[in-house]
Structure 1
Amino acid sequence: MFAIMKKSILFILIIFSNILLAETIGRVMKSNGTVLIKPMGSPSYSVSVKPGQAVSNGDAIRVGEASFAVVIFLDDKSVVKIRENTDFQFVETSNTRSLIIDQGTTLHNVNKEDRKKTYRVETPVSVASVKGTEFSSFHDAVSGVDKFVGKSGNFEVLNSISGAIVNVGPGQKAVSNALGQLIPAPAEPGDFPEDPDGESSPEQNDNQGQSENNQQDSPQQQERQPQQRQQRSPQQNQNQTSQEPAKQTESVERLEDVQTSSSNPQSPPKKPFNMGLAVGSATINDTIYNQVALRPELSFGKLGIGFDLVMYIDNEGNIRKDEWDEPSDFIDKILYLRWGQKSDPFWLVWGSLNNVTLGYGGLISGYSNMMEFPSVRKVGINTGFNFRNFGTEVFLSNMKDFSRGGTLLGLRGTYKISDTLPITLGMNFVQDMNQFSGLKDTDGDDYPDLFDDFPNDKDLWNDTDGDGLADENGGNKAPSGGWDIDADGNNILDSEQSELKLKPEPFKSTNSEAVAQGFGFDIGYPVLKSRALSLEVYSEFNTLSFSQATGDTTYFNRDKMTGSGITLPGLRASLFGFLNISFEYRIKNGYFIPQFFDGSYDLSRVTVQTTDSGIIVRTKDQLVFADPLSNKDTRGMYGSASANLFNLLTFNASYASMKADTTEFNSFNALLNLNAENIPKLSVAQAYYQRNNDKDPFDFGNPSLNTVFGYKVGYEVSQGVSVIWDFRQFYRDSGIPGAALEPVKQTTIETAFDF
């Protein structure tokens, strides 16, 4: 008896579960050619689709060669148009609607008004989150490349490997790949796919969607290529519509619950213009300012321009003039300028740069010139050319540094042997032409502000007693009030003293030289490329050299240092688009560390330290190689992993360990990004930690100069309005002998409006 009851209960549960899974969520409005559905739980695509076909939660759809289909969702009347050679699955939960794309191209018209669920398009590489817009998505399963193109409205694209996020608006696109790159760019005229259903109005679509004669086209018409169908004139579409049979009663009844009077004609694409408004506070040089910023974004074909028109107001209502008082300041108002993307014959990014990596990253990896923004605004450039199998790339971190002796420069050239033998050879050259240009010099007199007693006066620099009067000969010319008559502050006139102990001339960046240089060669080969597994093997050889100090060595002294590193082998793999891992075996000789020019390079590029013997200037290499054993030859491993955990969060971490006897150089980097779509009122949530080339990067209680961490949290107050808290912290020498490092905290609180 008990066994019978047990079987009965199990049978009821199975039936109930199937009913839930088989919930109808949409219907096929139109179909043409080979369109098949694989029901939930079925091993194959067994159902041939006709107009009016129900689509259930968990169903997968396949559109074959020279075919198309149109599906409408029952609840909010959103429409997805499916082009040829496309496979994807419908997956819905109580608050999320997901289209899991295996391959192909889809066009989406998401209804914002009646929608109660988050609308997402997911591929093994990317996730596009939509709030109500018209856009297209394309996924190449072989190469692992996604392309999302906006037609109206705005949506976000997340690269599941790196955690990078970009916002895509009308006339814009985002290209995402399995290497973790996410590149925003203006959309070109041909980027948005042709509508497989033609250009008919929604009213025409309703009438045509009720007809089954799409399956009755002539064989010649079915054999046409999709390009031919897409190029038909409106007159041809109209003629085809007029030839449809009048026998549509059955289809009308089946789609009666789908078609409503709320179907409005599609609005034309919006003008490619976005406006962002930020109202909040920002900390600059330890002073808190109220911030009002307009951040318009313009797109014209391949050209994209972003502005940062910001005003900082102190607690007395005074506007900070430092950002508006010189003609050169207006260059800073251009946040970025883009032309094309890296796959184009010519591409350019000017202004703010993020995540710059040359080759496999042995020399420069993840560099950003925005680490000290907004207190320090840099104007960089990253550009390149592609011609057949050749490629070039040029990188400059800050054009302003040329007036102070130079900037960080990067060059790369590549050559792919052929498509049949896709071995790629690459060469890299990186040089920091003047590491001292990392020291802030407000008045441009070559005396950095940390040494200059008059940082806003290019004619004066020394004030021994700190009374605001310049020492005699402590400048190029006497001030209007004359030199200080008591420069040492001992209340005795200088003219009555035989010996004066005054400050020596401070450190001058042009009196010494500090150059860091790197050269590298790499080779790579894609071993496997499939949906389940992709594997790339590579090797690279890199060198670093640091020039010997010349000229005045009072404040800066450095012997020449050189070193090299070999990666053999290097492996990168992707499993089912879910897990991405990499492994490198590294051999290091002399003064070398991988990724010397990393994301935090600008923070540790050059520092000033106070010792018992006085103030000295130290460059990053001197800090990294301060240990006498740091030039010993070492060997070790590097590994990284990134994963998308059920679309709830993405995680990216890397660890390196290099050893030689008792000497260790360890690095740890981590990025955690929470999918805010799953949490009400949360617009963004991410955190990061970076600590490179330390003995113990996990000693969180004792940070070093190589430590950078931060987080960003956004709370959605109402639709389109979010309050965002952005925090970053790093460390610098306090200038006091024996004292702990001084934390430098940068906090921005702003209210963001999405127009």
Structure 2
Amino acid sequence: MKIYTILFLLLFAFQNLFAQIYKEPKPDEGFLTGGAGLIWIDGQPHYRISFRPEVSFANFGVGLDLNLDFDSQGKLRKENFNEFTDYLSIIRYVRYGFKNDPVYIKLGALDYYTLGHGTIINYYNNSPTFDARRIGLVADFDFGNFGFESIYGNFAQAGLFGIRGYVRPLKFTEAGNIPVIGNLELGATYAADFDKNATVLAGHYDSQKGEFVKTEDKGALSIIGFDIGLPVVKSGFTTLLLYFDYNKISNFGSGMASGVKLDLNGLGLVELSAKLERRFNQDRYIPSYFNSFYEIERFKLDTVNNNFSSKALSLQNVGNDLNGFYGDLLVRVLGLFDIYGAYQRLDKDSKSGILNLRTDVSPKDGSIVLRAGYDKVHIQDEKDLFKLDDRSYLFTEFGYKPLPYMIVSIVYNWTFTPERDSNDKITGYKPQKRIEPRIYFVYPFNL
């Protein structure tokens, strides 16, 4: 293709923003974004057509996400639409309410969902790859005196399910009006992964049949948990929560966590949320088992070397007395920037580091756009912290607004793409690099 044609296409380049730093439209607001452009996937150029409208009216919201990638021969990239869920995922989400509202329901891509205090399900992502997007469901209801949170990760096949019910028992009595103690909350959680590879501990690849043969498998992996939380301070500006969790992984081990969570809201202009947690882990127990990397780590088959890895196998080999700390911090300055960071480190495990970072510096009336998200697991030391490999997940965008509705930027993704067997079944994931220079248009509108 001639150079001036490519340059013309670049004027309309557009690609998904990672949902961990993307903000959905406010009530009675909408965005119309799209175009055509050029993107490099693992060093190969592809031509992209994108369309992503989003609209929010009252408590309802809908977002679409259509991406068509064509190679240099004009053929549609296979991974765009090789599963039924790829067609369904054109509807990125349909929701009612927002997280932490009395009623919150969301169908579609589930980005960084946390159940309860996060000691079982913490920032779970059901679609960690552009090439195998999933449709899931979140349903949270808070009736005041009691309620529940729930998640189902993938309607296309058996997968993650989690539900936490909770009750504020003193609210049913006169003691519910007593400051501090009246807000006592008791919770119980059940979470399970029903995927066929959730607990594979031994097996081999049969090259003649073209499939993996399991020789040791414990079936569905399930976790039960009990928690207690007490907001010792609760006002319009400050919430200070003390909590304690106990969790047991069926057929494996158990663990506990005690923590404190502080939320500050400075007149709606500055928000700060911080959590510090001490984790007490017995053998064969991993805290926050269902995390942002779970879909990647659940099971991976190496057909060349005839071996495999699985998170259940890692769980089986975890030793005793691996206590540690977990902390996170969110700073949000309205209209200026958001910064979030979380880190885990266990006392006696040199490969236990888990890092989550996200930032969004894109003031509404400013000219600079900076968005980034980074996840890393099994961190060994500082040198390993920002090394991109099969334990890393990165998104960056740096751009400039020459006009209020136009952004000129460069986007870099270190993500994953599925590996498939002869039957086109996903057997694991491998790292994928995407680079995209773009100029795209965002048209806001009010209903």
TM range (shorter): 0.7 to 0.9
Q: Whole-Å Cα distance in 2 between the matches of residues 322 and 578 of structure 1?
A: 40
Q: Is the 8 A contact 1:666 1:697 kept in 2?
A: no
Task: Kindly provide the amino acid, as one letter, of the partner of residue 699 in structure 1.
Answer: D
The alignment of Structure 1 onto Structure 2 pairs a total of residues equal to: 399
For the 8 Å contact 1:435–1:605, the answer to whether it is kept is no
Radius of gyration: which is bigger?
A: 1
Q: How does 1:150-161 map to 2 (within 5 A)?
A: none
Instruction: Provide TM-score, normalisation by structure 1.
Output: 0.47
Aligned to 2:295: 602
Give the 5 Å matches for 1:661-740: 663-664=349-350, 666-673=352-359, 675-677=361-363, 681-682=367-368, 684-696=369-381, 698-700=383-385, 705-729=390-414
Superposed counterparts of 1:355-394, under 5 Å:
355-373=112-130, 375-394=131-150
Cα contact 1:163–1:651 (8 A) shared by 2: no
Q: Counterpart in 2 of 1:616?
A: 307
User: How big is each residue's C-alpha offset from its partner over 1:139-183, in whole Å with a ceiling of 9 and x where there is no partner?
Assistant: xxxxxxxxxxxxxxxxxxxxxxx99551435614xxxxxxxxxxx
Does the 8 Å CA contact 2:394/2:415 hold for their aligned counterparts? yes
Tell me if the contact between 2:396 and 2:412 (Cα under 8 Å) persists in the aligned partners: yes
The equivalent position to 1:744 in structure 2, one of 419, 432, 437, is 432
Shift of 1:705: 4.1
- Residue in structure 1 matched with residue 163 of structure 2 by the alignment: 411
Q: Which of the pair is proportionally richer in strand?
A: 2
Structure 2 counterpart of 1:567, one-letter code: A
Aligned-residue offset at 1:297: 2.5
1:25-63 alpha-carbon deviations (Å, 9 max, x no partner): xxxxxxxxxxxxxxxxxxxxxxxxxxxxxxxxxxxxxxx
What's the secondary structure of 1:590's corresponding residue? coil
CA distance in 2 between counterparts of 1:327 and 1:578 reads 41
How high is the sequence identity, in percent, across the aligned residues? Answer: 24
| Cα drift, residue 699 of structure 1 | 1.9
Do the aligned partners of residues 355 and 328 (structure 1) sit closer, same or farther apart at CA in structure 2, a change above 3 Å counting? closer
AA aligned opposite 1:713: F
TM-score by length of 2: 0.76
What root-mean-square deviation, in Å, do the aligned CA atoms of Structure 1 and Structure 2 show? 3.8
| Cα distance, 1:396–1:733 mapped onto 2, change above 3 Å | closer
- Residues 324-358 of structure 1: CA distance to partner in whole angstroms, max 9, x if unpaired? 68876532221111123456665421111112100
* Separation of aligned partners in 1, 2:22 and 2:167: 30
Query: In the aligned structure 2, how far is the partner of 1:292 from the partner of 1:694?
Result: 37
Distance 1:325 1:378, change over 3 A: closer
* Counterpart-to-counterpart distance in 2, 1:527 and 1:752: 48
Which protein has greater RCO, CA pairs closer than 8 Å, 6+ apart? 2
Cα displacement (A) at 1:541: 0.7
**1:153 paired residue number:** none
Aligned to 1:658: 346
Equivalence map 1:34-433=2 (5 Å): 164-168=21-25, 171-172=28-29, 274-282=31-39, 287-299=44-56, 301-320=58-77, 323=80, 329-341=86-98, 346-373=103-130, 375-401=131-157, 406-417=158-169, 418=171, 419-420=176-177, 421-433=182-194
CA shift, 1:408, in A, is: 1.2
Determine helix, strand or coil for the equivalent of 1:632: coil
Aligned to 1:562: 252
Match of 1:206 in 2: none
Give the Cα separation in 2 of the matches to 1:323 and 1:731: 14
Q: Deviations over 1:201-251 (max 9, x none)?
A: xxxxxxxxxxxxxxxxxxxxxxxxxxxxxxxxxxxxxxxxxxxxxxxxxxx
Give the Å deviation of 1:381: 1.1
Deviation at 1:303, TM superposition (A): 3.2
Deviation string for 1:538-568 (max 9, x for gaps)?
11111224xxxxxxxxxxxxxxx51111113
Is there any run of 5+ residues in structure 2 with no aligned partner, and where? 1-18, 200-204, 420-428
SS of 1:355's partner is coil
Q: 1:604 Cα shift?
A: 1.8
Separation in 1, partners of 2:101, 2:332: 30
Task: Decide which of 260, 266, 271 is 1:571's aligned counterpart.
Answer: 260
CA distance in 2, matches of 1:587, 1:705: 28
Match of 2:208 among 504, 523, 526: 504
Distance 1:721 1:353, change over 3 A: same
Please tell me whether the aligned partners of residues 572 and 581 of structure 1 are also in contact (alpha carbons under 8 angstroms): yes
In 2, distance between residues paired with 1:295 and 1:646?
25
Q: Is the 8 A contact 1:666 1:696 kept in 2?
A: no
Gap change, CA 1:437 and 1:524, over 3 Å in 2: closer
The separation in 2 between residues aligned to 1:327 and 1:650, in whole angstroms, is 36
Q: 1:434 aligned to 2:434?
A: no
Q: Cα distance 1:574–1:351, how it changes in 2: closer, same or farther (>3 A)?
A: closer
Alpha-carbon offset, residue 606 of structure 1:
1.4
